[in-house]
Structure 1
């Protein structure tokens, strides 16, 4: 009888579900998915939840393979030496391989008053906590969205469409991924919807109070409800477990997504930092990285060398309410180019991403091993090679006498 292999997947987001489903290709692999919620959260719809429409919750029965065991719990520690994880409830759970897919969430705001008076919206619980606050606020109450990445832009547009008085405060670059021409177009369309866009160093938020936001240049912006979308963070589980991470807390891996500390631990999604050069935090990368993490584990079980990652992006979809959107197309190295799509076609593309991502997970549950991805990053291998050569040169110089 063939020996059974136990694989524990920590995190039930896009990457974790994709990995768990793909692992079921082998009958001799037992898969346990540990997630703190009993249902899947379609995170790219959270801005709609903030606006009062759109349900981001999906039943795991729709997207998870029947033979994957779902454990609703949180993992507090990974013991690599013992090959076990410690859930918040119950005793340790052993594994032969572990896939680390804990995802990302809101960054810890260091601005005075932000933790007390601002509402982050990067998780389901955060968005749900905000909803009754918005519902209780008068329709004309001033709302400020801090941060103008994709989530901030989408939340501002969604709230403006419901008739809210919205200010979007961006102390850095508005839509930092976007091409300057696309950035100007989105800014103009937000303004047309009544959003006051404040950007540049002077618009950096210096403090948040119960009824206002104070900017670095001394301006005070009235704000009865303040949303915080500036930055993302990752759970510190890897760091707490004495595994090497990057500065943000993402697990450091090689290009096969294998931990630098343990070949039995493989990472995927937002919480992975392959070669110290993590991919863009995105659902676009989460599904293929989840599939690749599973393939790495399956290769090791089969005694074969795992492949290196080759994941690229087609671009960034940004919704501007329900009737408008922009698709910023990317070059093959995941940099924004001059090409973009707006209007009804962009809305259709954005809406298709909602159903498409869930469809990919459901398809992999029904037919494990079927998920493929078209977009490749042609420059990543060269970038990784250059980084390694630079590191080797630095070590060489440090080893020279007199340096």
Structure 2
């Protein structure tokens, strides 16, 4: 009789669910997914939750294979030498292979007053809390969004479309990732909604008070509600468990997503740092990364050598309320190109991009092993080689 193989996935986000579904290809593999919440969070819709146009949650039965055991709990420690995990409820569980898919959360702000008076929105609970706060504040009250990246842009637009008085503080420039063409489209869309966009060095938040945000240039922006969208960080579970991580707390792996600390531990999604050169934190990376880590585990079980990462990211899409958006195309190395779709067409493409992950996870749950990704070559080999050349003794002597 074939011995049963226990695979535990920590984290039920996009990457963890995709990995768990894909692992069910083998009948001799038992897959357990451990997640602190009983529902799947559509993180890319949290700005819509804040604005009230979506609740940003989906029942796990819609996206997770019935062959995956779902455990609602939090992992507090990984004992890699013993191949066990400890749960918040005090129990322990063993594993043969462990997939680390804990995602990311809001980075602790270093700006004085931000922790006390600003509201982050990177988790379901944070977004729900902010929505509740906004419901108790008059529509005319000034709202300040700190951070000019996608999360800040989308949140500012969502609230402005509802008639809120919104100021967006970019800190440096609006949409740093975007091509200048895409940036102009975003700026135009925000202007139509009445968002006051402040960019450049003097727009950097230096302190947050209950009723204002002080900028680097000395100006104080009135703010009844300050929303913090700057920075993400990985949970500290891996580092607390003695596994090697990068400076941001992401688990260090090789190019097959195998931990450099233990060959029975693997990482995927926002919490992984393959070769110390992680891909952009995004849903677009999470799904193929989840597929890839499952393939690596299945290869290990079969006694085969796993393949290296090959996927790339093709675009970034930004919603500007419910009727406008920008779909920014990218080169295979994840740098923005001039091509973009904006306006109502951009909004429709953004909505398709938000709905697509649910469809992809549903399909993988029904037919494990079927998921594939559009961009097969993200140019990682070339970038890794360039990184190696830069750090070589010869390069060091030349410098």
Normalization by structure 2: what TM-score? 0.97
* Count of aligned pairs between the two proteins: 397
Q: Check conservation: 2:185, 2:342, Cα contact below 8 A.
A: no
Instruction: State yes or no: 1:11 paired with 2:8.
Output: no
* Aligned residue in 1 for 2:261: 261
* Aligned residue in 2 for 1:81: 81
CA deviation digits over 1:227-274, x for unaligned, max 9? Answer: 000111111111111111111011111000000111101110011110
* Aligned residue in 2 for 1:340: 340
2:135 match: secondary structure: helix
* Aligned residue in 1 for 2:121: 121
* Aligned residue in 2 for 1:130: 130
Q: Check conservation: 1:146, 1:168, Cα contact below 8 A.
A: yes
Instruction: State yes or no: 1:381 paired with 2:398.
Output: no
Instruction: Please give the alpha-carbon distance, in whole angstroms, between the structure 2 residues aligned to 1:52 and 1:24.
Output: 36
CA deviation digits over 1:28-80, x for unaligned, max 9? Answer: 00111000000000111101011112121100001111111111111111111
2:340 match: secondary structure: strand
> Which aligned pairs between 1:1-150 and structure 2 lie closer than 5 A?
1-150=1-150
CA deviation digits over 1:100-121, x for unaligned, max 9? Answer: 0000111111111001110000
Instruction: Please give the alpha-carbon distance, in whole angstroms, between the structure 2 residues aligned to 1:106 and 1:281.
Output: 12
Flag structure 1 segments of 5+ consecutive residues without an equivalent.
398-403
Q: Check conservation: 1:157, 1:321, Cα contact below 8 A.
A: yes
Instruction: Please give the alpha-carbon distance, in whole angstroms, between the structure 1 residues aligned to 2:35 and 2:367.
Output: 23
Q: Check conservation: 1:85, 1:93, Cα contact below 8 A.
A: yes
Q: Check conservation: 2:156, 2:195, Cα contact below 8 A.
A: yes
1:115 match: secondary structure: helix
Instruction: State yes or no: 1:204 paired with 2:213.
Output: no
1:86 match: secondary structure: strand
Say what the alpha-carbon RMSD is for the aligned residues: 1.3
Q: Check conservation: 1:318, 1:325, Cα contact below 8 A.
A: yes
1:369 match: secondary structure: coil
CA deviation digits over 1:323-377, x for unaligned, max 9? Answer: 0000010011110011100122211111112221101001100110000001133
* Aligned residue in 2 for 1:252: 252
* Aligned residue in 1 for 2:237: 237
* Aligned residue in 1 for 2:308: 308
* Aligned residue in 2 for 1:318: 318
Instruction: Please give the alpha-carbon distance, in whole angstroms, between the structure 1 residues aligned to 2:185 and 2:166.
Output: 18
> Which aligned pairs between 1:182-197 and structure 2 lie closer than 5 A?
182-197=182-197
Q: Check conservation: 1:118, 1:228, Cα contact below 8 A.
A: yes
Q: Check conservation: 2:99, 2:268, Cα contact below 8 A.
A: yes
* Aligned residue in 2 for 1:400: none
Q: Check conservation: 1:316, 1:328, Cα contact below 8 A.
A: yes
Instruction: Please give the alpha-carbon distance, in whole angstroms, between the structure 1 residues aligned to 2:315 and 2:71.
Output: 34
* Aligned residue in 2 for 1:357: 357
Instruction: Please give the alpha-carbon distance, in whole angstroms, between the structure 2 residues aligned to 1:96 and 1:396.
Output: 42
Runs of 4+ in 1 over 4 A off after TM superposition: 394-397
Cα–Cα, structure 1 residues 80 and 109, in superposed 2: closer, same or farther, change >3 Å? same
Instruction: State yes or no: 1:283 paired with 2:314.
Output: no
Q: Check conservation: 2:390, 2:396, Cα contact below 8 A.
A: no
Instruction: State yes or no: 1:327 paired with 2:336.
Output: no
Flag structure 2 segments of 5+ consecutive residues without an equivalent.
none
Normalization by structure 1: what TM-score? 0.96
Q: Check conservation: 2:389, 2:395, Cα contact below 8 A.
A: no
**How far is the alpha carbon of 1:394 from its aligned partner?**
7.0
